[in-house]
Amino acid sequence: MSEHAPAASAPIHSPVEMDGRIAEIEAQRSMAQNRCIVLAGRNAELLDLLKIHRAEVERLTTLLNDGPEAVAEAAMPVAPLAAQ
């Protein structure tokens, strides 16, 4: 076998087969991109909810620590700020 001869196991594809495969791969890429867009939207929504949750935890912690019980027991806060 010469160095320049094609390998016997390499299949030869027609232009129609190659075009079909390219279209198939492009469709897969498009579906993957759409899935990424959906996931990015979900992640953004989850991050917004997390920010809201953290703000609410901070508000409630402040309320607990600054309430009448916290004033009476200033040495031992109900919920320390570091607990977030």
pLDDT tens per residue across span 3-21: 565 556 778 889 999 999 9
d(CA 27, CA 22): 9
Alpha carbon distance 44, 50 (integer Å): 10
- Model pTM above 0.85: no
Give the separation between CA 21 and CA 33, rounded to whole angstroms: 18
Token look-up 């912690």 returns: 61
| Digit-coded pLDDT (tens) for 13-64 | 899 999 999 999 999 999 999 999 999 999 999 999 999 999 999 988 988 8
Domain ranges for the chain, please list them. 15-83
